[in-house]
Every structure is written in structure tokens, then in C-alpha cells.
């Protein structure tokens, strides 16, 4: 008697049966299925091979044990073939940039992506305000939490967005080797260009330095005019 067992990383159904052709048996097994072949004569040799050409692409054969041998009298032989399930997926972190009172240009602002407190990627915006990081690859389902934040560009006339934006990615396995990524929210990062100083009494409040320079020039002109007048009409 001989039995063959199949193991895999995912659940499956029962055996689809055994077909003998010219002394060969073709068996289809799923996870944890067992097929038993009785009345195999002692001394008969056996060789078991898995047809990997028809195996779904999300499985690979990891090991094959006791797949070659000779049946002993009243002996029991068990072959074990183990397959490994593979799944994969990806997600591209994105955000949108708003610039109030300013004009966006490509690569104007810089951003970083953090996981567990460490920066794992950096990027900048395009002229339309799109912020896109490099794609992240995954090989197992689960949840991942990231932080997207803007770097301070140091421009004193821009109020930068200092918030840490948290985003959670949930990866779901569809059972056919594919992970689907879903995110909990969309992110908009907003900066503001500082406007002119507020007006008082209906008169524009100009820059004090410019006003001071104007008065200084007026004073110099008046002093020059007075000196010229005295020199011209002095008795």
C-alpha cells in the first residue's frame, strides 16, 4: 500500500480522483489531501513527480520527500510534496499640494515618507500639486501605518504646513496570489504665501524701511535746495 500526501499554505478541496494509464496514476491533490493506492505489488518501484507546468503561478514546489522507492512486502510508503504559496502587491503613496496666495512650480516643495519613525522615501511636488513617492512592494497581507510630512524649505515669506499626516494601508489577499491595497484617507498639504501688511485708516501701510528711505531722500533734497538758495542770494 502506498499513500501520497500534499501540503500547501492555503486551504483546498478533496482529491479529484486517480486515473491509471499504462501503469501510471495521475492524481490531483489540494492542501492536506491524501490519496491511498492499495494492492501495489511488493518489489514494484515507484516515482512521484509533481507537474509544475499546470501549477498556478502563485505556488512553487518547496520540497518533495520519499518520492522514489521500492514497495516492500506488507510495507507502507508515504510521499510528501510541499508547495509554497506566494502573494504580492504594491501601493504608491500620494498626496496633494495646495499653495494659497502663491504659484506652484515643479519641485518647489519637498516631502518625506516615514514608517516607524524613520524616513523611507522622499519626493517633491509637480506643477499641478501632485506628490508621488516611489512604489512600495508587499509580500503578505496586513496593515501598515505611514506618516507623510513636508520639509521646511526655509523661505521666510512662506508659512509651511508642519502637520504629520498619518495614513494606514490595508493589504488583503484575494487567494490567487494578489494583494489589494486600500487606504483610509486622502492627504492635502497646504502652504500659504505671506500677503502684504494690513492697511490702516484707508492708507496702505508701506514697508517702514521704504518709508524711512523716502523721508531721508526728501530731507537731503530740502537741505541741498536751502544751501543753494543761501549761496545765491548772500549779500
Question: What CATH topology corresponds to 89-193?
Answer: Immunoglobulin-like (2.60.40)
Please give the helix or strand (H or E) that residue 222 lies within, else none: helix 208-232
List the one residue out of 99, 114, 206 whose CA is nearest residue 155: 99
- Give span(s): CATH 2.60.40.3050, the chain: 89-193
Q: Structure pTM?
A: 0.67
pLDDT in tens, the chain (235 residues): 445 555 543 333 333 456 667 777 778 777 788 887 777 778 888 888 888 898 899 999 999 998 998 888 777 778 899 999 999 999 999 999 999 999 999 999 999 999 999 999 999 999 999 999 999 999 999 999 999 999 999 999 999 999 999 999 999 999 999 999 999 999 999 999 997 655 555 444 445 455 455 545 555 555 454 444 444 444 4
Task: Give the Cα separation of 185 and 165 in Å (integer).
Answer: 10
User: Backbone phi, then psi, for 211, in 5-degree steps?
Assistant: -60, -45
- Compute CA 123 distance to the chain's CA centroid, rounded to the nearest angstrom: 13
Amino acid at each position: 500500500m502506498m499513500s501520497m500526501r500534499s501540503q500547501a499554505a492555503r486551504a483546498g478541496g478533496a482529491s479529484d480522483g486517480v486515473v491509471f494509464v499504462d501503469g501510471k496514476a495521475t492524481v490531483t491533490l489540494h492542501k492536506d489531501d491524501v490519496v491511498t493506492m492499495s494492492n501495489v505489488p511488493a518489489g514494484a518501484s515507484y516515482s512521484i513527480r509533481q507537474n509544475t507546468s499546470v501549477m498556478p503561478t502563485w505556488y512553487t514546489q518547496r520540497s518533495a520527500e520519499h518520492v522514489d522507492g521500492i514497495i516492500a512486502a506488507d510495507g507502507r510508503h508515504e510521499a510528501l510534496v510541499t508547495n509554497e504559496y506566494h502573494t504580492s502587491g504594491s501601493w504608491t503613496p500620494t498626496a496633494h499640494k495646495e499653495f494659497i496666495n502663491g504659484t506652484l512650480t515643479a519641485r518647489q516643495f519637498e516631502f518625506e515618507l516615514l514608517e516607524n519613525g524613520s524616513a523611507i522615501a522622499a519626493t517633491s511636488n509637480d506643477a499641478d500639486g501632485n506628490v508621488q513617492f516611489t512604489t512600495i512592494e508587499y509580500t503578505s497581507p496586513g496593515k501598515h501605518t505611514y506618516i507623510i510630512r513636508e520639509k521646511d524649505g526655509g523661505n521666510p515669506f512662506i508659512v509651511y504646513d508642519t502637520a504629520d499626516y498619518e495614513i494606514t494601508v490595508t493589504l488583503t489577499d484575494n487567494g490567487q496570489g494578489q494583494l489589494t491595497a486600500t487606504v483610509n484617507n486622502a492627504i492635502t498639504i497646504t502652504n500659504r504665501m505671506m500677503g502684504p501688511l494690513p492697511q490702516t485708516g484707508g492708507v496702505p501701510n508701506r514697508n517702514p524701511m521704504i518709508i524711512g528711505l523716502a523721508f531721508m531722500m526728501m530731507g537731503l533734497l530740502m537741505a541741498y535746495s536751502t544751501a543753494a538758495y543761501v549761496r545765491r542770494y548772500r549779500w
